Amino acid sequence: MKEKIITKSTDLFLNLGFKSVTMDDIANEMGISKKTIYQHFKNKTKLVEATALNVFENIACGIDQICALNKNPIEEVYKIKRFVMHNLKDEKSSPQYQLQKYYPKIYATLKGKQFEKMLGCVTQNLERGIAQNLYRDSIEIDFVARLYFNNMVSLKDQDIFPREQFSMPTLMNNYLEYHLRGICSNKGLETLTQLHINQN
């Protein structure tokens, strides 16, 4: 039952937001009593924490599987982006932003885990890209990897990018283009252009 509650709560939180979904809403959606939820989770904060970590684990696992395919590093960046966006429901309810605002402790824990995961993943991507002559060998790998993470976090800041003005898919596409054009070699730029042609 605990897993079912986490699954349903994740769906509701990602679609409607952590703040607006109540324990009553979850109980009604599942056709169970609120008491049943409280048998597994002491309060809503504990449930939010469980769902946030569950989403992170699922995404981290999916990213590992994509990286294991050993694809062209530029293609890999876009494949990961599509996977993450799909799992976050295109961030309709801006989950990261809501976590930061209403559950700052959970957000801080999650951000630490995301940083660790993304730093490793991006570093490997950059190393492979340089080895395959797709990225310039003069780039500072650690600097670019940290900058990449920081910019990804900034995209979710609604004070900088209000949702009514910027959709998350557009922001992600624009940022990846910006990131890749900044690090690609001439060979990499040809690959990037070819990828765009194939996607259109």
In this structure, is residue 15 part of a structural domain?
Answer: no
- The domain that holds 128 is classified in CATH as 1.10.357.10
The count of other CB atoms within 10 Å of the CB of residue 34 is 12
In this structure, is residue 139 part of a structural domain?
Answer: yes
Cα torsion angle, 61, 75, 132, 144, sign: negative
- pLDDT tens per residue, range 61-117: 999 999 999 889 999 999 999 998 888 765 555 777 788 889 999 999 999 999 999
pLDDT at 122: 96
C-alpha–C-alpha distance, residues 26 and 104, integer Å? 22
Band of the pLDDT at 177, cuts 50, 70, 90?
A: very high
Residue 163's domain comprises 44-199
- pLDDT tens per residue, range 12-59: 998 888 988 999 999 999 999 999 999 999 999 999 999 999 999 999
pLDDT at 92: 59
Cα 141 off chain centre by:
21
List phi, psi (to 5°) of 143. -65, -50
pLDDT at 133: 97
- In percent, the amount of the chain with pLDDT more than 90 equals 74
In this structure, is residue 20 part of a structural domain?
Answer: no
Q: Is 87 exposed, middle or buried (0-12, 13-18, 19+ CB in 10 A)?
A: middle
In this structure, is residue 19 part of a structural domain?
Answer: no
In this structure, is residue 27 part of a structural domain?
Answer: no
In this structure, is residue 109 part of a structural domain?
Answer: yes
- Mean pLDDT calculated for residue range 173-185: 96
In this structure, is residue 118 part of a structural domain?
Answer: yes
In this structure, is residue 30 part of a structural domain?
Answer: no
The closest alpha carbon to 93, from 20, 159, 25, 14, belongs to: 14
pLDDT at 199: 64
Q: Please give the tally of structural domains in the chain.
A: 1
